[in-house]
Structure 1
């Protein structure tokens, strides 16, 4: 089975790839824009299955199908609201709401395998889908706050108050502008889909950084970068070497 992912947010694409690897579904290719996807489809054998995000950096993914006739089966990955999801139900398309859940992904993959002989005969009416989506906002909703338990109380923390997220001893913590650390019931992997990529960037396996918290950036050993944050001073905050290029692009 040949599988590709079309997703403009690279952290989300990598997370989905890791989830599929656990299901023994290898991903052959990851594409990140309408333009890149069209060029790839023009020069490669089309896959059996596409995991397709709707809104890409350079337009709606449906524009790909306006140019290229694609017979691959599709599972949409989307952050659209329930009303917009009528489009997928009407067209017999499977879909996964972001952030994608492991169990729901497994169910969708198994459903595709069961329906594989029929899947290629499904005719998708993208015009109808676009009409329904036009009645729904295309902007994604990202997480705006977190809750954490302190004794018998629940505290709400706005993402604007968080300088960074970090993992330690199998726990995930939020460090706030007030210099406090709070244990959260989540993981850095889940945060990659829940937080705005314009505001937060995962610089390493340990740290997820708020762009507004960066006070200084210093060249470090082995082509890495060291970040100085406004308040977090517990440990050195290092941008992993393989993330430096994307980090610099993110800053721009």
Structure 2
């Protein structure tokens, strides 16, 4: 859909009835257009963010109110995904038909149902403005994440050796050669890479995740002092209590 930001925005989604503590992180990645796989617009920047996701929720404007065809939009974007990476193109997708409150949406919904049946994907009619269908969509995403299995990163025909999977939520704290603190963790480093720290809302979401992971406490246990430097991925900052 049209550009709404030049930086993907992260949000923590509470699944609710599937468990009071159950959450997942969703990245809003707009702006994929024709030629994105060749770097048109901010194509490569956005596609690199898609690489970090496990499930793709593909949102189309079911109303077609701006003169665009939601079925055509679906295939255009998937063409760009495939041209950029076959692995991304094979990722589980869920189709969300948005703007179901607008004229023309019901007529296009049948075509989108036929598309979903053909492609073997789930379809959810939703309306972001009214909240219609969002609960069902969120539950479906949570279930897909529970069932997610990482695809081995190997070329066709290459022998794959079994290895113990690293816990992506594991947080480790160490010191570099300069004595500065280094916070490491696959999911946390991914979060840092996808967060626009110049955006107040994105910053608050990051701080929320920082708190629920108990990273302050871990740093304090390692003896961190006010003003000392902390590194996470490519980001560094001064520690403040």
Q: State TM-score, norm by structure 2.
A: 0.30
Q: State TM-score, norm by structure 1.
A: 0.29
Higher relative contact order (CA 8 A, sep 6+): 2
Report which of the two has the higher share of strand: 1
